[in-house]
Amino acid sequence: MTAPHVLDAMTAMDERTLSPGDSLMAAVADSDQPFVIRGLASDWALVRHAGVSDDAVLEYLGGFATDVPVLACMGERADQGRVFYNEDLSGMNFKEVETRMQAVLDKLAEIMGEAHPPTVYLGSTEVDYCLPGMAADNALDLAGVRATVRLWLSNRHRVAAHYDVLENIAITCAGRRRFILFPPEQLENLYVGPIEFTPAGQPVSMVDFENPDFERFPRFAEAIKHARVAEMEPGDGIYIPSMWWHHVEGLARLNILVNHWWVPVPMYFGAPMDALMHAILSIRDLPESQREAWRAFFDHYIFRPGPKTADHLPVDRRGMLDPLTENAARRIRMLLRNKLNK
């Protein structure tokens, strides 16, 4: 797991408390920083079973398991729980297999007593799909926010630092988890891997937190100065704002996380990563003078819009310069499709 000298240089994550009647989503709305709420889900049935034993947790989950297919990652013992690329980046250090939930639970039970087990990691699987009915006794009040609720189930593991576009509230339900978070502006100090070839969909830091190579990754020392760290017990919750990098470790022989993802904007908005890839295609390799000209365009229309952007135009001629609506989004997508198909 993460080296002690790395952890010692990090700042403990802020902690919040909720009094009876306080709104969780109001606390989120008041902050653009991550924070931990201890015991946020202490009344969940899954958390109560975790207080009994690992076997009780596996039996409880098995009561909801159905025969639907799920994808699980199986790693070698030698990798000691690291879910990552292989040594030459030609592939991954794990195999993704289609299986069933009960088979995953049985495998975790089988290897639970081993000192150096292989990695079993089921990630980002919708709870209502893989464990229908479990949410009835394991739910947060998100005050009307429509969140995607997903399960993460594994033995000991560590997942490289990555970001999510979505807002996230995650609950440690069994075992122990360590979260190490970095603000978005630490991007260049995290030595991020390929954009289009990733372990699980998002680009990840190439730094091994267990044994960081500061000769190869010298700027990581600066990232550590800005890191926030928290260790989570069953029932603890964490808020991870959109675009914050997070390195996640499962520290126990059985670890369960349930997270809640949502977007704070309408669903007709586009995906920012699509814009980044299009900019790589069309702007990144232009001559420097042209890139600087386009930087001015992006500042004017995207990053610093205001009255100067379109107030001088007739209202009926502002087009996509007006605030985005569903119809406007549809028209922009049509324009993009026509241009990309040329």
Per DSSP, the three-state class of 255 is: strand
- So what's the architecture of 4-262 in CATH? Sandwich (2.60)
Residue with tokens 């995290």: 190
Residue 43: predicted pLDDT: 97
Distance (Å, whole) CA 309 – CA 307: 5
Residue 341: predicted pLDDT: 84
Q: How far is CA 109 from the centre of its chain?
A: 27
Stretch 244-251: mean pLDDT: 98
Distance (Å, whole) CA 199 – CA 243: 18
Please report which residue ranges of 13-163 form alpha helices under DSSP H: 24-29, 45-50, 54-62, 101-111, 127-130
Residue 14: predicted pLDDT: 97
Stretch 27-46: mean pLDDT: 96
Question: Which residues belong to CATH 2.60.120.10 in the chain?
Answer: 4-262
Average confidence score pLDDT of the chain: 96
The residue type found at 296 is A
Residue 92: predicted pLDDT: 98
Residue 157's nearest CA partner among 73, 274, 45 is 73
Residue 35: predicted pLDDT: 98
Over residues 117-166, the pLDDT tens digits come to 999 999 999 999 999 999 999 999 999 899 999 999 999 999 999 999 99
The upper half-sphere exposure of residue 186, i.e. CA atoms within 13 Å in the direction of its Cβ, equals 24
Query: Would you say residue 13 has pLDDT above 80?
Result: yes
Structure tokens at 100: 């069933």
- The residues near 253 (Cβ < 8 Å, ≥ 6 apart) are 54, 112, 117, 155, 156, 175
Residue 1: predicted pLDDT: 85
Q: How far is CA 202 from CA 54, 85, 194, in A?
A: 31, 13, 9
Q: How many CB atoms sit inside 10 A of residue 337's CB? A: 9
Residue with tokens 């790589």: 280
Stretch 214-219: mean pLDDT: 98
Structure tokens at 174: 């069994």
Stretch 169-183: mean pLDDT: 98
Q: At what angle do helices 101-111 and 54-62 cross, to 10 degrees?
A: 160
Segment holding 178, helix H or strand E: strand 177-182
The burial of 141, by beta-carbon neighbours within 10 Å (0-12 exposed, 13-18 middle, 19 or more buried), is given as exposed
The burial of 58, by beta-carbon neighbours within 10 Å (0-12 exposed, 13-18 middle, 19 or more buried), is given as buried
Q: How many CB atoms sit inside 10 A of residue 55's CB? A: 12
- Describe the strand order of the beta sheet including 228-232 as a list of residue ranges: 11-12, 228-232, 177-182, 245-250, 157-162, 82-83
**% of the chain with per-residue pLDDT over 70:** 100
**Residue 200 per-residue DSSP state:** S
Q: Is beta strand 157-162 parallel, antiparallel or unpaired with respect to 82-83?
A: parallel
Query: Would you say residue 342 has pLDDT above 80?
Result: no
Per DSSP, the three-state class of 234 is: coil
